[in-house]
């Protein structure tokens, strides 16, 4: 099948590479000339495990190509995915200007009947606006569908190739048949293909992310109760996660969610519910808890070391919002680091893959090191934001000898408190009692 994907960001690149891998001819189009030059040279601008090799293989096989000529990509394709960004506006609503600009270009460029699919995360009713924008430019028939993505950064290739489910919002049986054919290689083992109306598909994406975000904020609220009462949040998590009606996923307490999806999708869903007169207070609470949780580690450090951190070195392990990605959007680490800098601290940070991305946000206001141990010399405290694998079993003796004070604030509960006490650390985690004489 001839597939066009407009937008060569995270979603567009993963979808394009995976569709090409299954034998389709895929053109990925983007107006960013520098990005397209890099992609044609095999230089993938985002970090996603396995994506670079997948793109290289399909470029070499001539199943995948990149272009800045969106109109040509439209004319060459039977199915066109819109996968451009939908950043939040000032009021939290999704900004659809890029989506609708692509729709107008499709209408101006198409020469025969097309299936146009919104892959971007968009609020309910967007497909109707896309149809209106296309039909304002042409009389040629068009099918406008919704096919939301459910990709986890760091595991996107696996998620696309072996999806839990494929959600398709369609406007005709013809479009449904084409979509089934397109996704047939990915659902051979019986994964669910869900055909529904277009508005239902659009809501499903937001509802899924909002539900996961709710579980995270809920568990962080429970963690605070555990800290106040002396309970162990890990025991509570296991106790409720073993209930088959609840399950264990997304019940790990931490420093809050970040990234490109949960923050903006919760905000956008709140805005949509407000527009339709639906009470959104539960989701507003989810967002409020998350924003508060991002400040947890900073607040605890200030309680221990004081408001004035001038002359103090603070080490940070992990900058990306989660492991196996370099994504810094809405990362809790940014809240902590900005608070440290405002109080005069010297911040030395490590992340296995996100250092270059962090420089876009923090510039030269902090120091970056290539080794996690390189952040520790003279540090009054170590703050852990991201559960990268190399941080899980460090050399604690080496750490204690290197740091000025053996104080660890662990935002991901990587270590056992009893073990940390035996190693002589002052240790604070999320939802568990602190250890070490000076920690309060």
CB 187 within 8 A of CB 165: no
Cα 414 from Cα 391, distance rounded (Å): 8
Q: Which residues contact 439 (CB under 8 A, 6 or more apart)?
A: 304, 407, 426, 427, 428
Helix or strand holding residue 427 (H, E): strand 426-428
Q: Judge whether 84 and 9 are in contact, CB under 8 Å.
A: yes
For residues 178 and 173, give the distance between their C-alpha atoms in angstroms, rounded to a whole number. Answer: 9
Phi/psi at 152 (5° precision): -95, 125
Nearest to 405 by CA among 424, 420, 385, 386: 424
**Annotation says 261 is catalytic:** yes
Half-sphere exposure of 394 (CA within 13 A, CB side): 25
DSSP assignment of 7-58? --SHHHHHHHHHHHHTT-EEEEE-S-HHHHHHHHTT--SS--TTHHHHHHHH
Q: DSSP alpha helices (H): ranges in 187-318?
A: 198-229, 233-241, 262-275, 281-293, 296-305
How far apart are alpha carbons 21 and 145 in whole angstroms? 23
Provide CB contacts within 8 A for 117, sequence distance 6+: 79, 80, 81, 82, 144, 145, 146, 147, 179
| Residues with active-site annotation | 261
């Amino acid at each position: 099948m001839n597939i066009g994907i407009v937008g060569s960001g995270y979603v567009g690149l993963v979808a394009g590479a995976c569709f090409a891998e299954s034998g389709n001819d895929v053109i990925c189009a983007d107006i960013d000339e520098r990005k397209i030059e890099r992609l044609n040279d095999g230089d993938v601008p985002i970090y996603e495990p396995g994506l670079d090799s997948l793109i290289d293989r399909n470029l070499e096989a001539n199943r995948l190509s990149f272009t800045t000529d969106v109109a040509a990509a439209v004319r060459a394709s039977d199915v066109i995915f819109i996968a451009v960004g939908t950043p939040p506006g000032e009021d939290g609503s999704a900004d659809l200007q890029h989506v609708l600009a692509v729709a107008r270009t499709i209408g101006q460029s198409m020469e025969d009947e097309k299936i146009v699919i919104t892959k971007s995360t968009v609020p309910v009713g967007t497909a109707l606006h896309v149809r209106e924008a296309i039909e304002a430019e042409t009389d040629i028939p068009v099918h406008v569908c919704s096919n939301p993505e459910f990709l986890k950064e760091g595991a996107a290739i696996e998620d696309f190739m072996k999806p839990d489910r494929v959600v398709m919002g369609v406007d005709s049986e013809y479009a449904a048949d084409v979509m089934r054919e397109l996704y047939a290689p990915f659902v051979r083992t019986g994964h669910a293909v869900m055909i529904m109306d277009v508005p239902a598909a659009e809501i499903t994406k937001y509802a899924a992310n909002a539900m996961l975000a709710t579980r995270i904020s809920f568990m962080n609220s429970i963690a605070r109760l555990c800290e106040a009462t002396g309970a162990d949040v890990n025991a509570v998590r296991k106790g409720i996660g073993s209930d088959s009606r609840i399950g264990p996923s997304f019940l790990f307490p931490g420093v809050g969610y970040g990234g490109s999806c949960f923050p903006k999708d919760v905000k956008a869903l709140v805005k949509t519910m407000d527009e339709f007169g639906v009470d959104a207070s539960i989701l507003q609470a989810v967002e409020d808890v998350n924003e508060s949780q991002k400040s947890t580690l900073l607040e605890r450090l200030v309680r221990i070391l004081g408001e004035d951190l001038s002359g103090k070195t603070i080490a940070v392990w992990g900058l990306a919002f989660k492991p196996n990605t370099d994504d810094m959007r809405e990362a809790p680490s940014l809240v902590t680091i900005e608070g440290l800098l405002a109080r005069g601290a010297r911040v030395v940070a490590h992340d296995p893959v996100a250092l270059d991305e962090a420089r876009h946000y923090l510039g030269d206001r902090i120091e970056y090191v290539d080794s996690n141990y390189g952040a520790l010399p003279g540090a009054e405290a170590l703050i852990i934001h991201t559960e990268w694998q190399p941080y899980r079993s460090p050399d604690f003796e080496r750490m204690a000898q290197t740091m000025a004070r053996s104080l660890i604030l662990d935002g991901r509960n990587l270590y056992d408190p009893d073990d940390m006490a035996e190693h002589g650390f002052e240790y604070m985690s999320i939802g568990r009692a602190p250890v070490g004489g000076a920690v309060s």
